[in-house]
Chains A and B, each alone.
Chain A
């Protein structure tokens, strides 16, 4: 059974970089059957897709965030990560790591981690 767990700071200062890691268990991040991604949800609001990385290493980004976002994976640690630069209060959200299938249906989710941007 695939399991995902987010980790990273819960508080980030404005203009700094938000860094989160998702630890994967039950599958390899280099397995061709799995894709990996990040989705966020501001408090009381809806879901926003951020980025996806394929098993091959190909990456896809939300155009509205593309200039500030990097998704990557570490096969030696079986993890994938998110970096979001120059954060503002608008980036305050619960960040979910997720694993969509080949059709991009998101059938596995982490529990989510709240990141607050505040000085």
Chain B
């Protein structure tokens, strides 16, 4: 199985801050990576596919990068609605695996 490791597990930040989350795969997955946002009590929401393709309706302050084994999700200017938990997911094949999550909290 491909293991996905996210860091940090949590980050405290203020509105307007730039936040970067890292996701590492245990083996190369090219760009077969997605990012999801999950607010408390809600289902995850797909933000980014293929490592860097922003989904329709997702604000441009979100961006994704990387390939192979190291990937990043960056929020350029944190907004109040961005405080949530973020997960990466590899889709290179089965079994699909997720990172452990990064909780973005208000400082």
Q: Which residues of A contact B (CB under 8 A)?
A: 46-49, 52, 60-63, 96, 100, 103-107, 109-112
Contact = CB atoms under 8 A, between A and B. Distances in A.
A106 B95 contact: no
B98 A47 contact: yes
Contacts of B34: 105-106
Nearest to B45: A109
Contacts, number: 51
Range, interface on chain B:
20 to 34
A68 to B, nearest CB: 15
B91 A104 contact: yes
B91 A49 contact: no
Interface in B35-66: 36, 42-46, 49-50, 55
A85 to B, nearest CB: 19
A52 B91 CA distance: 12
A52 B43 CA distance: 18
Given A106-B34, A106-B44, A112-B43, A46 B95 contact: no
